Structure 1
Amino acid sequence: MFTNVRARFLLTLAVLLAAVLTPAAPRALAADTARRPGAEVVAVTRVADRQVDLSVRSTALGDRTVNVRLLTPDGWNPGERHRHWSTLWLLHGCCGDYTSWTSMTDVARTDSLRDVLVVMPEAGWNGWYSDWWNHGRGGDPAWETFHTKELRHLLERDWGAGHDRVVAGLSMGGQGALLYAARHPGMFKATAAYSGSAHPPRCRVGRPHHGLLRRPGHRPAPRLGRPGRPAPDLAGPRPGPPRQTPEITPRLPVLRRRHHRPLDPPGATSALEADFNRQNHALAAELKRVGARQVTTHFYGPGTHGWPYWERELHASLPMLLEALGTDGG
Structure 2
Amino acid sequence: MNKAHLSRAAAPGAAVLCAVPLLCLPAAAAPVEPFRAGFRPADSGAKIIKETRVGRLGRDLTVRTPNLDVPVKVRVLLPKGWRKNAARTWPVLYAYSGGSDDYRSWTKNSRIEQWAAKYDAIVVMPEAASSSYTNWWNGGKRGNPRWETFHTKDVIQLIERNYRANKRRSAVGVSAGGMGAMKYAARNPRMYKFVAALSSPLWMTGPGIPASTALTAITQSQSVWDIFGDPVIDRANWERNDPYVLAKGLRGTKIYFSAGTTGKAGPGDPEVSPLDVGLSGEQIVGELNRAFDERLDKLGIKHTANLYGDGRHNWPAWRRIMKDLWPKLMKSLNAEKIG
* TM-score, L = length of structure 2: 0.75
Partner of 1:278: 287
- Which residue type is aligned with residue 131 of structure 1? N
Distance in 2 of aligned mates of 1:143 and 1:325: 25
Partner of 2:148: 144
Is this contact kept in 1: 2:267–2:311, CA < 8 A? no
Partner of 1:172: 176
Cα deviation, residue 236, structure 1: 7.2
CA-to-aligned-CA distance 1:58-101 (integer Å, 9 cap, x gap):
11114x210000011111222x1633211000000001110000
Is this contact kept in 2: 1:169–1:175, CA < 8 A? yes
Alignment partner of 1:315 out of 300, 323, 333: 323
Structure number with higher helix proportion? 2
Report the secondary structure of 1:308's partner residue: helix
Where relative contact order (Cα < 8 A, 6+ residues apart) is larger, the structure is 1
Alignment partner of 2:162 out of 148, 158, 162: 158
Alignment partner of 1:120 out of 111, 117, 125: 125
Partner of 2:59: 52
Partner of 1:222: 224
Distance in 2 of aligned mates of 1:34 and 1:328: 28
Distance in 2 of aligned mates of 1:239 and 1:42: 37
CA-to-aligned-CA distance 1:228-264 (integer Å, 9 cap, x gap):
xx75189971269979953222615656999993234
Cα deviation, residue 195, structure 1: 0.2
Q: Could you list the runs of 4 or more consecutive aligned residues of structure 1 that deviate by over 4 angstroms after TM superposition? A: 34-37, 213-216, 233-236, 239-245, 252-260, 266-269
CA-to-aligned-CA distance 1:153-206 (integer Å, 9 cap, x gap):
111111221111000000000001101111111111001100011111226463
- Which residue type is aligned with residue 46 of structure 2? A
Partner of 2:189: 185
Pair 1:240–1:207, CA change in 2 (3 A): closer
Is this contact kept in 2: 1:92–1:123, CA < 8 A? yes
Pair 1:31–1:186, CA change in 2 (3 A): same
Counting matched residue pairs gives 290
Matches within 5 A, 1:194-213: 194-202=198-206, 204=208, 206-210=212-216
- Which residue type is aligned with residue 104 of structure 1? N
Cα deviation, residue 31, structure 1: 1.6
Is this contact kept in 2: 1:189–1:325, CA < 8 A? yes
Is this contact kept in 2: 1:253–1:287, CA < 8 A? no
Distance in 2 of aligned mates of 1:91 and 1:323: 19
Report the secondary structure of 1:165's partner residue: strand
- Which residue type is aligned with residue 51 of structure 2? V
Pair 1:255–1:114, CA change in 2 (3 A): closer
Report the secondary structure of 2:224's partner residue: coil
Alignment partner of 2:72 out of 66, 75, 78: 66
Is this contact kept in 2: 1:273–1:302, CA < 8 A? no
Distance in 2 of aligned mates of 1:91 and 1:111: 15
Distance in 2 of aligned mates of 1:144 and 1:258: 24
Is this contact kept in 2: 1:41–1:56, CA < 8 A? yes
Distance in 1 of aligned mates of 2:231 and 2:66: 18
* TM-score, L = length of structure 1: 0.77
Answering whether residue 83 of structure 2 is matched by residue 77 of structure 1, we say yes
Is this contact kept in 1: 2:137–2:228, CA < 8 A? no
Cα deviation, residue 281, structure 1: 0.2
CA-to-aligned-CA distance 1:95-125 (integer Å, 9 cap, x gap):
1110000011111122664411100000122
Pair 1:329–1:304, CA change in 2 (3 A): same
Is this contact kept in 1: 2:41–2:158, CA < 8 A? no
Report the secondary structure of 1:95's partner residue: coil
Partner of 1:247: 246
Q: Structure 2 unaligned runs (5+)?
A: 1-34
Greater alpha carbon shift after TM alignment, 103-112 vs 64-73: 103-112
RMSD after superposition: 3.4
Is this contact kept in 1: 2:98–2:175, CA < 8 A? yes
Is this contact kept in 2: 1:34–1:42, CA < 8 A? no
Distance in 2 of aligned mates of 1:241 and 1:151: 24
Distance in 1 of aligned mates of 2:51 and 2:280: 40
Partner of 1:7: none
Distance in 2 of aligned mates of 1:130 and 1:323: 29
Is this contact kept in 1: 2:97–2:176, CA < 8 A? yes
Q: Structure 1 unaligned runs (5+)?
A: 1-28, 225-229
Is this contact kept in 1: 2:311–2:317, CA < 8 A? no
Report the secondary structure of 2:205's partner residue: helix
